[in-house]
Structure 1
Amino acid sequence: MFRAEELCGLSIKPKINDIDLNVLQDYYRKFLNPFVYQYDIIEGKKQSSIQLRFDEANFCHLLGIESIVKYSVPKKKICNYKGQGGWDFIQNSGLCFNDLKKINKSKFKSVKAKFVYFYLMTDIVENPVAVKFKNQNVDPPTKIDCDILFYTKDENAVIHLGIKKDEVLGYYIPKTFFVEKLGVSGIDSYIDKQKKIIAKKKNRIIML
C-alpha cells in the first residue's frame, strides 16, 4: 500500500489495490488542503488573478463518493458521503474501497479512474494547461459546472480538474475531477472547442 508521500513521486498510475480512501485523504490533507494557489489568468489581452483552495468539504465530490452510494444507502445517511460530513466520516470511520464496493460495486467501478489518477492532482495545479469552460461547447452538451478546466494528458487519457469561483467564499474551489479516455481520434470533446487560456501559477501559500 502506497503512502501519501509516495503518490507524489509516481511516474505511472498506481493499481487500485495499492491505494485506498485513507491514502487519498492523507494525500489531499498534506498536499492540497493546506495551501492557497494563486494564478494569473491570461486570456488574450485580458489578465486577472485568482485564488484556488482545496477545502475538506470538496474532497468527496471530487472522487464521486456520493454518486457511488446515492441510491444504495438511506437518505439520512447520505451526509456521511458528501461535503464536510463525508470528510469527517472517512476520517473517523475508516471507510475504505471495500466498503464502497459492498454498497454498489458497479458504480464503484465506474468512478475507479478518479481514484487511480488522483495522484496527478498536484501536477495539474502546479503546471496547469487550461481552457475557459462552457458546457454548451461540448458535444453532446454536458452538465459539468465550472469556469476553468485544468487538464493534463497521461498515456491514452486526459485528466481534468474543473474549478469555479464560489461567490460566498470569494475564491475558486475544485468543482469536478474526471478522466476521459482518448479514442482513435485522439480528440477530447471537453477541451476541443473551448477557448485556450494561460493559467500561470504565481504562488502557493500555506494557510496558517
Structure 2
Amino acid sequence: MGTRDDLLAAAKQCLAERGYARTTVRDIVSASGTNLAAINYHFGTRDKLLYQAMLESSSTAVQQILDSLPAEHPDDPAERLHAFLQRLTDSFTTDTALWSANAESLVQALHAPDIRTELGAAQGRARAGLSDLFGDEPADPAVGAVLQTMIGGLLIQWLIDPDHAPTADTIVAGLRALAERTGPE
C-alpha cells in the first residue's frame, strides 16, 4: 500500500475505534505510520480524509450486504432470508470495525450534505440489490425497502449488545408472526 492507502486504512480504523469527533490527526498519523504533512498532501484536511474513509466504509458495507445474499435455496424464501440474515449478522461480529465505521458515517451524514448524498445513493443501491433476495421477476422494491430498514436497526443492536441482538432465527420467526397478524392485503 502507498501512503494515501495507509492514511485511509488508518482513518477507517480510527473511525471504528474512536469515532469521528474523537479522531485526531495525531491518531491517524500514529495508526498509519505516516506524518502530518501526508494528510495535507493527499487529502487537504482531516475532515476530507475522514469523509473519504466514511464513503469507502459505507461502500464496502453495502457490498457486504449484497455479498450476503444467498445463491442457495432458490425455491424456499424463508431459507433464503435466513441464510442472508445469518451471513449478515456473522459479518457484524467478524468485521466489527467496518460496521462501526459505517454506523459512524450514518451519524455524520446528518451534518454533511456531501456525505448524506453519497450515503443516500449507497442505500439506494442496497435497496435495489435487496429487492432481488427472492428472485422474483420483476424485483419487488418494497422488499428491498423493508430489508434495508431492518438492517439498520439490526446493525445498531449487534454493535451495542451483540449478546442480546436478534438472531436470524428470531427475525424470521418475528416476520412470520407479523405476517400472520397482518394477514393478506
TM-score (norm 1): 0.27
More helix by share: 2
Larger RCO: Structure 1 or Structure 2 (Cα < 8 Å, ≥ 6 residues apart)?
Answer: 1
Rg larger for: 2
TM-score (norm 2): 0.29
More strand by share: 1
